[in-house]
Homo-oligomer: A and B are copies of this chain.
Amino acid sequence: MSDAPDSPTPATIGPRELEGTIDLLGVIAYGAIKGFTSIAADAEMARDLDLKRALAGMAAKEFRGHELLVDHIGELGGTPTEAMEPFREAFDAYHDRTRPRDLLEGLVKAYIGDGIASDFYLETAQYVRPGTAAIIQQATADHRDVDVIVAAVRRGIEADSRRAGPLALWGRRLMGEALTQGQVVASRRETLGDLVLGRSHDRPGATIEEIGELMQRLTDQHQVRMRRLGLAP
């Protein structure tokens, strides 16, 4: 079916690789717009005006990332809303199950949840064509200005040390929920697995061993972030 699948131009991507690529972009684009509303809700909760402004800025960057991804779906001939639709349930479930009860929980979620998602997207970017990989990197790397969040969480724990334990549990729960919903996403669309494993085209994909290493890197990065917040990983 595929005509010259090694070419980086969309017109020559085989149909199965194209489908997987659009699916992947749909996942990340829907994740970004949910990230936007989630961080905007944190901005609403923030009393401190500098923190409110920083969070609103991060949300706006998430939206810019969403727009980049949506534009790229269009360039590849996909329909953005159709590309996002199959993944809404899993993302909505993640956000419904991890609704922050206050600003501190929201900040930990913005940092930990967004961090896991970004790491995962950057890892998968290795397995797509260069043009798409560049878009994913741009959309993801743009909102990693997280020092303000880290400082605000540390201040919150300093002000009330009893929060450290529950927030550490919260951070671990976020990781668990993200992994659960990640598996739901992967199982729903085998095109995504095929893309990463190299089954939809003739470039080499990830081996099972490499997938294991990827999961280990995600876990390691998560623990680095937890420690940076001053929380037991």
A52 contact set on B, CB distance < 8 A: 33
> Contacts of A43 on B, CB cut-off 8 Å?
33, 36-37, 40
**In residues 2-57 of chain A, which contact B (Cβ within 8 Å)?**
33, 36-37, 40-41, 43-44, 49-50, 52-53, 56-57
What residue in chain B is nearest A55 (Cβ atoms)?
A: B37
Chain B residues positioned under 8 Å from A57 (CB to CB): 63, 67
- Whether A220 is near chain B, meaning CB under 8 Å from some CB there, is no
Docked complex Cα distance between A52 and B85 (Å): 13
Interface residues of A in 105-140 (CB under 8 A from B): none
Nearest B residue to A46, CB-CB: B37
| Residue A175 is within 8 A (CB to CB) of chain B in the complex | no
Tell me which residues across on chain B come within 8 A of A56, comparing CB atoms.
Answer: 33, 36-37, 63, 66
* Interface contact B59-A40, CB-CB below 8 Å: yes
Do B41 and A53 touch across chains, with their CB atoms under 8 A apart?
no
Interface status of A70 (Cβ within 8 A of chain B): yes
* Stoichiometry, copies per complex: 2
A207 at the A/B interface (Cβ < 8 Å)? no
The interface on chain A, measured as residues whose beta carbon lies within 8 A of the other chain's beta carbons, has a size of 25
A84 at the interface (CB under 8 A from B): yes
When distances are taken between beta carbons in the complex, the residues of chain B under 8 Å from A63 are 56-57, 59-60
> Chain B contacts of A53 at CB under 8 A?
33, 66, 70, 80-81
Taking a contact as CB atoms closer than 8 A, the residue among B40, B44, B67, B84 that contacts A49 in the complex is B84
In the complex, chain A residues 45-99 whose Cβ is within 8 Å of any chain B Cβ:
49-50, 52-53, 56-57, 59-60, 63-64, 66-67, 70, 80-81, 84-85, 88
C-alpha spacing A116/B44, complex, angstroms:
22
Q: How far is the CB of A213 from chain B (nearest CB, A)?
A: 35
Which residues of chain B are within 8 angstroms of A44 by Cβ–Cβ distance? 37, 40-41
Min Cβ gap A18→B in Å is 21
Q: Shortest CB–CB separation between residue A7 and chain B, in angstroms?
A: 31
Residue among A37, A44, A67 with most chain B CB within 10 A: A37
Q: Give the Cβ gap from A206 to chain B, nearest Cβ, in Å.
A: 30
Q: How far is the CA of A61 from the CA of B139 in the complex (A)?
A: 18
List of B residues within 8 angstroms of A60 by Cβ: 36, 59-60, 63-64
Once A41-B40, A41-B44 are accepted as A-B contacts, the answer to whether A85 and B33 lie under 8 Å apart by CB is no
